[in-house]
């Protein structure tokens, strides 16, 4: 049968396909479900461990076994995502409540990654079994087919508390991102209990219980007044500081000890924090530092900064808050899947959805339990009734030819074909009328059940069954009873697993840091041909002036409080603070100019290095390869931005020369095909920095300006060209925008 070709617009196909892909990523990969606070991969890992029987009181199992089973049954998206999720759920420094008990190297707070899955082992934590996976056998949540429809998996786990708040969540989907901070389990349960009692509570009311985030790393939240708006809108920024303590050091020195870090500093940011402090010392902004040591261990964070005796401790702390990640922000975007679609939720919305879910799965749970108890009651009542007429039952069984005949008699009272000892027995048999289930139970009953004690136990069991039925009916019929059941479970979880708050919530003003004023002095900034820069003081420069002239491409006198400007051949201007350039000895190599500016040496070179303050006193002469030139007032380059466009260039053009216009009289342009043109500089017009300029020399096809020289007023200069020394007077004076002449060398 021939296939049918459907013609359609390509953009429509792409649009539909991308929307389908985006929704798949959003709902099935990246965002958590508000009901259980889990992403699909996390839910599948926990369920697979539950199915494998890796309980908290059983031996650990290899992580590779768990990952392989999860990937093969439920999550066919690669083992790395599964193992990464498993690792995160074991890390107590990332989660408010770790859900998996890891055995082995599962990484640390300083950013070291976990060992390979073949080395580590894991098992479920007790709270995960009790609060996440309990009662799954009671059909309390929907089960859906897995990717190949060979297995069933839960669409959501019946979590008993708002896990999305306790553990938080981070994820990037297509066009959206979620970032929910972790909270204190005890506070979240208290808020949930309060909402159960009063469903009309607002976010403001709930925040009497949930004070704010409770990061596993502790720290101090300093913008308490902004939290209400953040939790009402679901969006905002939480400012977090590390905890700093002051200790007495040796020889009267003071130690600043960081014992808690901001949550965003977890991982590689700790080493960056240490390198930032070292950089402050090297740039002479933190000269009070004597030593830095990271003494952190399994017991906790301990970063020790040893300071000089006369250090202003408060000012130094504020400097760390301002200049390093010791104060950072946690961006909040409480986005989650609610009722099948992504939604930015408030604190109240989250708790309301979780409470609604609790009612939903508890209703299913007790409905199923009630059905099972009703079934048990039916059978128990049949057995008790049968025990009362056991002689008649035995007579029916002995007189029947087969099981079917006996069952018909017990259920329908049909006695045809059954031999009875007396007519009275037959009449009584016709009146039994047991149910189908009761009849099956009677036929399968063993003789030991007729023992007196067994009969008493059966009666007591029936009484318990009736009590359960009464209790379950009460829970299902009265919302207050259901609420009480949910509340009791929450209280038990709080009693068993709640921990004290770790993060302090407060209001603190912005850190005020008074930077020590640098003592102003004259320095020379030196740059070699490799792009390394350094600064030397005047005495050092004067003692080594000869070697400096030989080794340095540029040597500029400036103030250490000022800036230097770098003009490159791609028409850009880069500025750098002189204070960022290390002041050292003549033998010091310096640092690459790339480190302190946005300049990169890949596709351009520096043509001029000068002091920004000098530019205000002079003008600059720009000459391009295509012979466009202009004079620009240096004041136009007195800018605060680190990088600007210094001049406008034609397509394919580059700057050939940038020079300070000082005492020069004439300019000499030399093209790469050997033409020389000399004319007065005053023929070059002054223009703005973003102008292209005017043509200085008529060029032949494929010719470009190769060299630019200047001559003074009195002394005749000598031009070095292709190993020849040419007196400037040998070149005849002409006018701008002419072709020039070839010289006989």
pLDDT tens per residue, range 492-523: 999 999 999 999 999 987 777 666 666 788 89
Top pLDDT among 402 and 72 is at: 72
Q: State the pLDDT confidence band at 288, using cuts at 50, 70 and 90.
A: confident
**256 located within any domain:** yes
- Closest listed residue to residue 227, CA positions, set 242, 210, 243: 210
Query: Is residue 580 domain-shared with residue 691, that is, in the same domain?
Result: yes
Query: Is residue 307 domain-shared with residue 431, that is, in the same domain?
Result: no
Contacts of 268 (CB under 8 A, 6+ apart): 111
**626 located within any domain:** yes
E strand or H helix at 659: strand 655-661
Q: Among 458, 474, 490, identify where a domain stops.
A: 474
**106 located within any domain:** yes
**618 located within any domain:** yes
**497 located within any domain:** no
Q: How far is it, in rounded angstroms, from Cα 87 to Cα 101? A: 10
Q: How far is it, in rounded angstroms, from Cα 642 to Cα 3? A: 63
Say whether pLDDT at 161 is over 70. Answer: yes
Predicted pLDDT at 454:
67
- Whichever domain contains 76, its CATH number is 3.90.199.10
* Parent domain of 719: 522-742
How many angstroms separate the Cα of 198 from the Cα of each of 231, 252, 355?
A: 19, 58, 12
Query: Is residue 526 domain-shared with residue 669, that is, in the same domain?
Result: yes
Q: How far is it, in rounded angstroms, from Cα 113 to Cα 448? A: 62
Most confident of 252-266, 487-501, 632-646, 694-708: 487-501
**732 located within any domain:** yes
pLDDT for 22-55, tens place per residue?
Answer: 555 555 567 899 999 999 999 999 999 999 999 9
The number of folded domains in the chain is: 4
Q: Is 724 a catalytic residue?
A: no
pLDDT for 613-650, tens place per residue?
Answer: 888 888 899 999 999 999 999 888 888 888 999 999 98
> Does residue 624 contact residue 654 with C-beta atoms inside 8 Å?
yes
Query: Is residue 451 domain-shared with residue 532, that is, in the same domain?
Result: no
pLDDT for 386-400, tens place per residue?
Answer: 777 777 777 777 777
pLDDT for 59-86, tens place per residue?
Answer: 999 999 999 999 999 998 889 999 999 9
**Three-state SS for 590?**
coil
Say whether pLDDT at 176 is over 90. Answer: no
The per-residue pLDDT of the chain, averaged, comes to: 87
Query: Is residue 469 domain-shared with residue 532, that is, in the same domain?
Result: no
Query: Is residue 567 domain-shared with residue 655, that is, in the same domain?
Result: yes
Q: State the pLDDT confidence band at 703, using cuts at 50, 70 and 90.
A: confident
Residue entry with tokens 């709930």: 206
pLDDT for 403-456, tens place per residue?
Answer: 887 777 777 777 777 777 777 777 787 778 788 788 877 777 776 666 655 677
- Whichever domain contains 709, its CATH number is 2.120.10.90
Query: Is residue 308 domain-shared with residue 410, that is, in the same domain?
Result: no
Query: Is residue 315 domain-shared with residue 379, that is, in the same domain?
Result: no
Query: Is residue 457 domain-shared with residue 560, that is, in the same domain?
Result: no
Q: Among 158, 184, 216, identify where a domain stops.
A: 158
- Closest listed residue to residue 99, CA positions, set 59, 132, 65: 132
- Token pair of 25 as six digits: 């990523």
Catalytic residue among 10, 21, 119, 472: 119
> Does residue 573 contact residue 612 with C-beta atoms inside 8 Å?
no
Predicted pLDDT at 1:
47
Query: Is residue 462 domain-shared with residue 547, that is, in the same domain?
Result: no
- Whichever domain contains 433, its CATH number is 1.10.268.10
Q: Among 474, 494, 510, identify where a domain stops.
A: 474
Say whether pLDDT at 714 is over 80. Answer: no
**583 located within any domain:** yes
Query: Is residue 546 domain-shared with residue 669, that is, in the same domain?
Result: yes
**217 located within any domain:** no
pLDDT for 525-546, tens place per residue?
Answer: 999 988 899 999 898 888 898 8
- Token pair of 524 as six digits: 């020379």
**Three-state SS for 658?**
strand
Q: How far is it, in rounded angstroms, from Cα 195 to Cα 189? A: 10
Residue 106 burial (10 A CB sphere; 0-12, 13-18, 19+): buried
- The DSSP symbol for 735 reads -
The residues facing 564 across adjacent strands are 576, 611
Query: Is residue 538 domain-shared with residue 648, that is, in the same domain?
Result: yes
E strand or H helix at 438: helix 436-444
- Whichever domain contains 286, its CATH number is 3.30.1360.40
């Amino acid at each position: 049968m021939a296939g049918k070709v459907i013609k359609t617009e390509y953009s429509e196909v792409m649009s539909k396909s991308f929307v389908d892909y985006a929704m798949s990523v959003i709902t099935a990969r990246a965002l958590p479900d508000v009901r259980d606070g889990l992403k699909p991969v996390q839910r599948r890992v926990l369920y697979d461990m539950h199915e494998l029987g890796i309980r908290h009181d059983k031996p650990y199992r290899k992580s590779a076994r768990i990952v392989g089973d999860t990937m093969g049954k439920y999550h066919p998206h690669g083992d790395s995502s599964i193992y990464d999720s498993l690792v995160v759920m074991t890390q107590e420094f990332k989660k408010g409540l770790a859900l998996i008990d890891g055995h082995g190297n599962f990484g640390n707070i300083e950013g070291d990654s976990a060992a390979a899955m073949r080395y580590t082992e894991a098992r479920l934590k007790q709270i995960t079994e009790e609060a996440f996976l309990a009662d799954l056998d009671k059909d309390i949540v929907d089960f859906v087919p897995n990717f190949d429809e060979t297995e069933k998996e839960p669409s959501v786990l019946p979590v008993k508390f708002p896990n999305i708040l306790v553990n938080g969540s981070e994820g990037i989907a297509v066009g959206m991102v979620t970032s929910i901070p972790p909270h204190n389990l005890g506070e979240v349960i208290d808020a949930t209990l309060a909402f159960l009692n009063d469903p009309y509570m607002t976010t403001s009311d709930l925040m009497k219980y949930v004070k704010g985030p409770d990061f596993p790393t502790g720290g101090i939240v300093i913008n308490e007044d902004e939290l209400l708006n953040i939790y009402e809108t679901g969006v905002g920024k939480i400012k977090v500081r590390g905890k700093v303590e002051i200790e007495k050091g040796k020889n009267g020195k003071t130690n600043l000890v960081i014992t808690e870090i901001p949550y965003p500093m977890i991982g590689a940011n700790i080493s960056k924090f240490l390198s930032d402090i070292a950089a402050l010392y090297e740039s002479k902004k933190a000269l009070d530092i004597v030593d830095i040591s990271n003494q952190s261990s399994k017991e906790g964070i301990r970063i020790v900064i040893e300071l000089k005796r006369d250090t202003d401790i408060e000012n130094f702390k504020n400097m760390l808050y301002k200049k390093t990640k010791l104060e950072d922000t946690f961006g909040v975007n409480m986005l989650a899947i609610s009722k099948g679609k992504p939604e930015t939720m408030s604190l109240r919305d989250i708790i309301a959805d979780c409470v609604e879910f609790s009612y939903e799965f508890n209703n299913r749970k007790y409905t199923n339990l009630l059905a099972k108890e009703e079934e048990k009651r039916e059978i128990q009542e049949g057995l008790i009734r049968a025990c009362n007429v056991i002689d008649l039952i035995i007579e029916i069984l002995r007189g029947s030819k087969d099981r079917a005949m006996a069952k018909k008699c017990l259920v329908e009272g049909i006695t045809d074909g059954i031999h009875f000892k007396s007519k009275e027995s037959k009449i009584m048999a016709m009146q039994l009328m047991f149910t189908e289930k009761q009849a099956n139970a009677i036929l399968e009953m063993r003789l030991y059940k007729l023992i007196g004690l067994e009969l008493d136990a059966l009666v007591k069991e029936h009484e318990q069954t009736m009590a359960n039925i009464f209790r379950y009916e009460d829970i299902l019929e009265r919302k207050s009873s259901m609420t009480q059941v949910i509340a009791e479970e929450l209280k038990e979880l709080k009693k068993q697993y709640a921990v004290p708050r770790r993060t302090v919530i407060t209001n603190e003003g912005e850190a005020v840091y008074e930077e020590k004023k640098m003592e102003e002095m004259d320095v020379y900034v030196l740059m070699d041909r490799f792009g390394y820069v350094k600064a030397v003081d005047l005495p050092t420069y004067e003692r080594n002036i000869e070697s400096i002239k030989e080794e340095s491409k540029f040597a500029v006198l400036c103030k250490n409080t000022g800036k230097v400007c770098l003009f490159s051949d791609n028409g850009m201007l880069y500025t750098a603070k002189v204070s960022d350039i290390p002041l050292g000895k003549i033998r010091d190599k310096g640092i690459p100019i790339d480190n302190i500016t946005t300049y990169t040496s890949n596709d351009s070179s520096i043509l001029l290095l000068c002091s920004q303050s000098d530019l205000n006193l002079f003008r600059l002469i720009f000459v391009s390869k295509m012979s466009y030139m202009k004079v620009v007032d240096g004041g136009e380059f007195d800018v605060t931005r680190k990088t600007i466009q210094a001049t406008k260039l034609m397509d394919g053009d580059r700057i050939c020369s940038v020079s300070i216009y000082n005492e020069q009289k004439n300019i000499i342009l030399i093209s790469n095909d050997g033409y020389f043109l000399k004319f007065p500089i005053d023929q070059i017009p002054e223009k703005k920095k973003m102008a292209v300029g005017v043509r200085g020399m008529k060029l032949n096809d494929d010719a470009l300006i190769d060299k630019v020289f200047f001559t003074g007023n009195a002394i005749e200069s000598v031009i070095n060209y292709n190993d020849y020394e040419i007196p400037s007077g040998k070149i005849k004076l002409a006018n701008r925008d002419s072709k020039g002449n070839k010289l006989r060398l």
